[in-house]
Structure 1
Amino acid sequence: MRRDRGIALLNALIMVAAISAVAAGLMLRAETSRVRVEDLQISQQAALYLDAAEFLVDPVLRADWERDQNLDHLQEAWARERFDADIDRGLLRGQIRDLQGRFNVNSLSAPSDLAAAQSFERLLRTLGLPVDLGPEIAGYVQARGPVRPGDYAARAVPVRPRGAPMDRIEELRLVRGMTEAYYARLLPFVTALAPGTGLNVNTASAEVLGAVLPTANPAGIARLLAERARLPFETRSDFILRAESLIHPRAIAQAQVPDGGFRVSSNRFEVHFELWLDGRTQSRILTVERSGQTGAARIEYRRAAYP
């Protein structure tokens, strides 16, 4: 009799333990589901905030265009001021950057544009990157294709070289020999715009200016940038005059600027937004074209900001 009671008690304890384990599992699953739902809700709310932030871009770029349609430089409001806004349970930040102050890799799509190839090689050297990337990128965007197309077809996920100018700078990741480290190093200095788009000397970095002005040494570029900070170049002729005075009398005659030449205004921009909400971060990058006729800003495409 006592033995039967002991067995019954043991069975009851086993059943209680099993029920407790099931209950704990259900509670864990419910908590996991709750966290997932919360993450989804926060992500959706963040996306809505970023959608709303996009409406801040047009008024800024349009107002700048209305002040002066023929001049864009780093001392203007669009370049100096951030979109900073406190939001419920978070913070939003944004900044506009000029894409026409960067080297346009699509200028490499014309085999006859030797100036583009040579200036890009100098940029790669300045950045400490392999110069072999230049011909590889050129082969990717030229109609004749890369030297070794089989390397693209043999990848785990086969890639077909574009054979035409890139639509988005992210395509650089597909180029043979391009690593994530190389891409991250190169990205702040390059863009993918239509071939023939001019280089804005009022926003170009020291690295890019040094690449297209082979007669300039670092000291000469530093003098040019200091002069630009004091007084932005108002016209192309103004830039030429001061560059020849500060760098070398033949600085412009021997320049190797890609097709499109020098200019002092821009109509292609990049906007970086970063949002902090409930301890989570979400970012977005916009590529924007500003109309030369109305000053209206049109978003061409958007992407997440993480690598």
Structure 2
Amino acid sequence: MRRAGRERGVAVITAILIVAIATTIAVNMLWRSQLDQRRTAAQIQADQAWLYLRGAEALAADILRQDLLEFGPDSDHLGEIWAQRIDPLPVDGGFVSGEIEDLQGRFNLNNLIDAAGQADPVAVEWFQRLLRVLELDPELAWYVVDWLDADTQPSFPVGAEDGAYTGREPPYRPPNLPVTSTSELLAVEGFDAEAYAALRPFVAALPQGTALNVNTAPAEVLASLDDGLGIASALQLIEQRGDQDFPDYLTLFAPLVSENVLPRLGERSSHFRLTARAAIGSTQLTMYSLLFREANGVVRPLLRSLGTE
């Protein structure tokens, strides 16, 4: 009797274990199935968002092309159709929004070096004035020069080349080439997140030799054109300009800036940045696209990045 009872007890325990194991397997399979479904849904949403972003890029290119046809090639200003913010557009499962900015209204970091890969004194002094306007250390300009220039000798008396970076963890070296993103400043000696955040809205990473478009430059950049200018004078210029162009920018700026700076000013732009955002379900993506508009109106992307400028 006792033996039979023990056998029945073992059988009951075995049955319970089998049910528990089967339940665990079933729950695990269900969890994996739901996880796979979520992953699939997230991937589908990400794919949809990416396609919408590419569509926004195509729309931006068409806007820039139409702008050239409507307003002509003589000048670009903030009253043109490309400068109008696009309100969020509802799409299947979410929305898409975007805005176009003229990057030639910013100081071009790559202008700090000349075609031979050496520091451009006029551009360096200009950049130092911008740093002062923003209440940053003007000596930061030399660290950026050393990041860009072709040699490996630190600028004197302030500068940083290989020796300032190879001792870091992880170690790295300056590229000694033009930058492709302003975010590279975060890797440059002397820059921290606070300094970069203050400077970021006023600088760009464009091909060397691009002129500053005075029709789209903000007050801080206009104030950096000369030591005799300040924010107050720059704001007066912007009030005079409004969202249109200066009638004769050369005549206007000739007495305000040095003869070395004047030839570096202009009123036409070829480099624009699209910031496009797509939200589909729980997926949100932001794409930055550097667009180059040729003289014949053809617009092509030079760089794209997701999430970071």
Q: Is the 8 A contact 2:223 2:233 kept in 1?
A: no
> Displaced runs of 4+ in structure 1, greater than 4 A?
none
Equivalent position amino acid for 2:49 in 1? A
Q: Is the 8 A contact 1:272 1:283 kept in 2?
A: yes
Counterparts in 2 of 1:53 and 1:21: CA distance versus 1, 3 Å? same
How far apart are the structure 2 equivalents of 1:185 and 1:84? 28
How far apart are the structure 2 equivalents of 1:59 and 1:256? 36
Q: Is the 8 A contact 2:49 2:283 kept in 1?
A: no
Equivalent position amino acid for 1:285 in 2? Y
Residue among 49, 53, 62 paired with 1:50: 53
Counterparts in 2 of 1:226 and 1:179: CA distance versus 1, 3 Å? same
Task: Give unpaired runs (5+ residues) of structure 2.
Answer: 155-159
Superposed, 1:77-88 pairs within 5 Å as: 77-82=81-86, 84-88=88-92
How far apart are the structure 2 equivalents of 1:61 and 1:137? 32
Per the normalisation by structure 1, the TM-score is 0.87
The corresponding residue for 1:296 is 298
Residue among 137, 150, 163 paired with 1:143: 150
The corresponding residue for 1:24 is 27
SS of 1:86's partner is strand
SS of 1:184's partner is helix
Task: Give unpaired runs (5+ residues) of structure 1.
Answer: 242-249
Residue among 183, 196, 219 paired with 2:196: 183
Number of corresponding residues: 296
The corresponding residue for 1:202 is 215
Counterparts in 2 of 1:284 and 1:70: CA distance versus 1, 3 Å? same
How far apart are the structure 1 equivalents of 2:260 and 2:12? 91
Equivalent position amino acid for 2:34 in 1? E
Q: Is structure 2 residue 98 aligned with structure 1 residue 98?
A: no
Once the two structures are superposed, what CA deviation does each residue of 1:214-236 show, in whole Å capped at 9, x if it has no partner? 21222211111111117521333
Counterparts in 2 of 1:153 and 1:278: CA distance versus 1, 3 Å? same
How far apart are the structure 2 equivalents of 1:239 and 1:28? 70
How far did 1:81 drift?
3.7
Q: Is structure 2 residue 63 aligned with structure 1 residue 71?
A: no
The corresponding residue for 1:228 is 241
Quote the sequence identity (%): 32
SS of 1:212's partner is coil
Q: Is structure 2 residue 179 aligned with structure 1 residue 163?
A: no
Counterparts in 2 of 1:260 and 1:47: CA distance versus 1, 3 Å? farther
Per the normalisation by structure 2, the TM-score is 0.87
